[in-house]
Amino acid sequence: MEAGTLRARGGPAIGDRSSRSRALDPLLRWVLTGLAALILLLIGFFFVRLFIEAKPAFDKFGYIGFVFDNNWDVSKEIFGAWPLVVGTLITSAIALVIGVPVAIATALYISELCPRGARQPLTILIELLAAVPSVVYGLWGIIVLAPKLHGVEQWLSDTFSFLPLVGGPVSIPNCFVAGLIMAIMILPIVSAISREVMATVPAQDKEAALALGATRWEMIRIAVLPYSRSGISGAAMLGLGRAIGETIAVTIVIGNAPNVPDSIFSQGYTLAAVIANEFNEAASDPTHRAALIAAGLVLFVLTLIINAIARYYVNRASRGNKRTVPTGMAG
């Protein structure tokens, strides 16, 4: 038990247990614990402060009133956020409807179907989508995508005008383009998590299906998809959480109209976009500012709930996997 002979490059022997070095141990522990506690305090403060600032708006319009009243009128100081909530929901729904199937397909292709060599490059390409900043998506969206889609959207709107929320004039910035851009933005995260979940499907399930004569697709249908369902739902919800909070790209392409949109091809507004657009003039108007912060709070709570649900599903998926008897192949 002498001082160890192991010496790191320079410095005292690693086994040196002088009293000075022993005193540093509790110090380290305290510092690190302090940092961890600081995070808790920070988040607590964050939530409390937001709530306090938002309270005047909730007091004036009521919690239900603020969220469900269909009247966002800044000049008359009436702040009913329903048009914003609807806009947020519509664009997120479009993002999910378009983005999730594509993400799942991508995850499936990469994990099950594509040649070994293509796996890494494809993964990198999908991940690169996440590297593009939101404002660049907005720039590309409004300059390139929205004008190019205008014709197609007009045709869709005319052809499917019997559907609810379709039909009528098509504007260049609109909810559909916003949803589409959001779909592209959530692709990487939904795809990555789905891939991870699919990777945990036990090989023996897949092999069993193949051994029984299933085609590749049938194997996927039988073994991979049902197994991954929970995890994929979780991934989709995480994507939804991300989509809801998207601000800059949305405000550039959505048209900023504080009305409940007549169709997915007309302008809309979201909770996040309204904060970015209006906070500047709310600086000295207490009611307006409280209303914007309340919108931020609603957004925050929405993402909290959605992420909690997502976590539940993803955890359920991974818990389920752990229960499977390990086959000796790394799970």
**By CB under 8 A, is residue 264 in contact with another protein?**
no
Tokens of 102: 């594509």
Q: Which among 72, 104, 47 is positioned nearest to 234, based on CA atoms?
A: 104
Per the listing, tokens 């000295």 go with: 284
Question: Is 241 a residue that touches another protein (CB under 8 A)?
Answer: yes
Restricting to residues 300-329, which ones interact with another protein according to CB under 8 A?
Answer: 300, 303-304, 306-307, 311
Closer by beta carbon to another protein, 59 or else 73: 73
User: How many Å apart are CA 231 and CA 238, to the nearest integer?
Assistant: 10
Is the Cα dihedral 211, 216, 220, 222 positive or negative?
negative
- 177 is a site residue for another protein (CB under 8 A): no
- Cβ proximity to another protein, 182 vs 230, nearer residue: 182
Q: How many amino acids of this chain bind another protein (CB under 8 A)?
A: 120
Among 95, 236, 252, 291, interactor with another protein by CB under 8 A? 252
Kindly state whether residue 73 participates in binding another protein, applying the rule CB under 8 A: yes
Task: Report if residue 272 touches another protein, rule: CB under 8 A.
Answer: yes
Residue 247 binds another protein (CB under 8 A): yes
Among 91, 278, 291, 321, binds another protein (CB under 8 A): 278
Q: Is 258 in the site for another protein (CB under 8 A)?
A: yes
Nearest partner of 290 among 59, 22, 120, 106, judged by Cα: 59
Dig out the tokens for 93 from the structure: 């729904």
Considering only residues 199-238, where is the footprint of another protein by CB under 8 A? 213, 215-218, 220
Residues 6, 217: Cα–Cα separation, whole Å: 57
Helix, strand, or coil here: 71?
strand
Give the whole-angstrom CA distance, residue 250 versus residue 88. Answer: 10
- 32 forms part of the interface with another protein (CB under 8 A): yes
- Using an 8 Å Cβ cutoff, are 270 and 293 in contact? no
Cα separation of 17 and 8, whole Å?
Answer: 15
> Least distance in Å: CB of 62 to another protein?
20
Measured from the CB atom, the residue of 93 and 114 that comes closer to another protein is: 114
Q: Given its phi and psi angles, is residue 230 left (phi above 0), alpha (psi -120 to 50 degrees) or beta?
A: alpha
Shortest distance in whole angstroms from residue 310 CB to another protein: 9
φ/ψ (deg, to 5) at 81: -90, 10
Residues 104-163 that bind another protein (CB under 8 A): 105-106, 108-110, 113-114, 122, 124-129, 131-140, 142-144, 147
> How many CB atoms sit inside 10 A of residue 13's CB?
13
* By CB under 8 A, residue 46 contacts another protein: yes
Of 156-164, 200-208, 296-304, 316-324, the segment contacting another protein by CB under 8 A is 296-304
CA atoms within 13 A on the CB side of 173: 18
- Could you tell me how many residues make up the chain? 331
85 binds another protein (CB under 8 A): no
**DSSP secondary structure, 24-43, as one string:** HHHHHHHHHHHHHHHHHHHH
Interface pick for another protein out of 55, 60, 165, 277 (rule CB under 8 A): 277
Residue 290, interface with another protein (CB under 8 A)?
no
Least CB distance to another protein at residue 156 (A): 16
**Two tokens, residue 24:** 């540093």
Of 89 and 122, nearer to another protein (C-beta) is 122
Return the range that interacts with another protein (CB under 8 A); candidates 1-9, 62-70, 159-167, 198-206: 1-9
Examine residue 14 and tell whether it contacts another protein (CB under 8 A). yes
